[in-house]
Amino acid sequence: MNSDGISMTLTFDAHLPLLGIAAWSGTGKTTLLEALLPRLQAHGIRAAVVKHAHHAFDIDQPGKDSYRLREAGATPMLIASRSRTALMINTPGDAEPDLSQLLAQLAPLAPDLVLVEGFKAWPLPKLELHRAALGKPLLATDDPWIRAVASPDVLDLPAGVESLDLDDHQRLSNWVVAWQQSWPQQARPREMPA
């Protein structure tokens, strides 16, 4: 349970492969996902992304009908067109988002893989991105859910953590494809030394 009262446990679904992308701010999580998503699509993988935001955000524009209806009290507000669908739910005063609830909303859409950006404290298998130049500690040292670290630097990694080159997007996409194909065997933490 975290400080917001959310039980930070996930039940892994054999048909919903998950991979967290964990990193300190400024490491390039979104930049990497932008490079990986078209490569995954070329492999025939429909990847969904769940992104954690540390601030209030709005995907709607003031003055538009959907904005006006949401502000008037519609919750949720679902808007759909031939091109896209958006579901907006106001959550004033709520605690941090519950990843298990967000994944339950995605499950009926049957993506081939869910990439989770942020939510680094949650217990789910993760790929860590690390840049020594940021001066931040390596997350893999204390997080048994980190299975690989992608970095442009040579790092001393804990046992059982694979090293990947953050700048080799083709190799990273191949690693993610292999991850997706080997699910659910990956849905467990690695052994940590005593």
Using one digit for the tens of pLDDT, what is the confidence trace for 156-191?
999 999 999 999 999 999 999 999 999 999 899 988
- State pLDDT tens for residues 92-120: 666 777 888 889 888 989 999 999 998 88
- Same domain for 156 and 62, yes or no, is no
Do 25 and 85 lie in one domain? The reply is no
The answer, yes or no, to whether residue 15 has pLDDT greater than 70, is yes
Residue 109 corresponds to which tokens in the numbers above?
């859409």
The domain of 87 spans 58-95
Whether residue 153 sits in one domain with residue 136: yes
CATH number of the domain that residue 153 is part of: 3.40.50.300
| 45 and 66 fall within a common domain | no
Domain shared by 28 and 105, yes or no: yes
- Residue 94 pLDDT: 67
Residues 151 and 189 in one domain: yes
Number of domains in the chain: 2
What mean pLDDT is predicted for residues 17-37? 94
pLDDT, tens digit, 9 for 90 and up, residues 42-57: 999 999 999 876 655 5
| Residue 78 pLDDT | 80
- One-character DSSP codes across 90-158: --TT--S--HHHHHHHHGGG--SEEEEES-TTSSS-EEEE--GGG-PPPGGGT-TTEEEEEESS---PP
User: Are residue 47 and residue 64 in the same domain, yes or no?
Assistant: no
